[in-house]
Amino acid sequence: MITVIGSINMDIAIRTDVFPKQGETVLGNLFTTIPGGKGANQAVAAARLGSQVQMVGAVGQDAFGNELYFNLKNENIHVGGIEKTNNSTGIANILLHDNDNRIIVVPGANFDLDQQMIERHMDLIKQSSLVILQLEIPVETIDFVLDVCVKLSIPVLLNPAPAANYKPEWIEKVTYLTPNETECEQIFGTDYETVLKQYPNKLIVTLGGEGAAYFDGTKLVNVPGYKTKALDTTGAGDTFNGAFAHAITAGKTIEAAVQFANIAASLSVEKFGAQGGMPQIEKVNERLEGLK
């Protein structure tokens, strides 16, 4: 059982051809709401690949909260660990203009995910073969969950995004740390190849279309990505993390799990939306077979 502890958001995307100046009103040409939040995205990615997944998180008692709750339930994710609080559901307001985006995140109920909520769902954590964390919930909660998992000898995959919320002492408590190249440099202050050698088989750095890299204790291992035409890269990192979790809990080696995750991420960018492109296991296996 994979347990994801993290954020559940509604992404609100607006596209415009004219970026508004201060005080100006302009017309847009797209409005859409898309289920998101790094925690929910990673849960969906793992569940679509066939893992048993349970989610611990929080939404508001509003329309977005209900929609996100049932979206996760419909993805065959166990939702008994999702609570509805008096805060509003978390949102990400995404303004799209000229192939660029500006995002404002309002955490809302995600910041109600505190130690007391974790304690209420301790039975779920105790069932876990792996716990997945990200950094869109309070850092105090991350501290508490990591200490619990260390005490219970439960492996942890920490995706340190947003990297500004990362605490250096966490590296000793996690089993896998999966920053992208930019996050790695932000966290460690140097290039990823230098840092990888300090954390063999623990630090896995994703490199976008170039794949991912880690140090196996003897050599640097670069696992190439799958070259494809990207329609929307949103959620590719979350797909990688969910797919890696699925593969590693299924008994694959780190190298095989990274390759599997790279393929899943390559499929995810071929469709629109973070969760919209997340693949089923059959599609990943089909593309893997094509590499042989």
Q: What is the 3-state secondary structure (H, E, C) of 182-251?
A: HHHHHHHCCCHHHHHCCCCCCECEECHHHCEEEECCCCEEEECCCCCCCCCCCCHHHHHHHHHHHHHHCC
Q: What is the pLDDT of residue 276?
A: 84
Q: What is the pLDDT of residue 190?
A: 86
Q: What is the pLDDT of residue 27?
A: 93
- CA-nearest of 223, 290, 233, 289 to 258 is 223
Instruction: List per-residue pLDDT tens for the chain, 292 residues long.
Output: 999 999 999 999 888 998 888 999 999 998 989 999 999 999 999 999 999 999 999 999 999 999 999 999 999 999 999 999 999 999 999 888 887 778 888 999 999 999 999 999 999 999 999 999 999 999 999 999 999 999 999 999 999 999 999 999 999 999 999 999 999 999 998 888 889 999 999 999 999 889 999 999 999 999 998 888 777 777 889 999 999 999 999 999 999 999 999 999 999 888 877 788 899 999 998 888 877 6
Positions marked active-site:
238
The token pair at 248 is 């590693």
Look up residue 136 and give its DSSP letter.
Answer: S
Q: What is the pLDDT of residue 100?
A: 76
* R_g of the chain, CA atoms, integer Å: 18
Q: What is the pLDDT of residue 104?
A: 87
DSSP reduced 3-state for 56: strand
Q: What is the pLDDT of residue 82?
A: 98
**d(C-alpha 120, C-alpha 81), whole Å:** 9
Question: What residue type is 48 in one-letter code?
Answer: R
**d(C-alpha 27, C-alpha 14), whole Å:** 10
Alpha carbon 43 to its chain's center:
8
Q: What is the pLDDT of residue 292?
A: 65
Q: What is the pLDDT of residue 85?
A: 97
The answer for residues whose C-beta is within 8 angstroms of residue 150's C-beta and 6 or more apart is 173
The model's pTM is 0.93
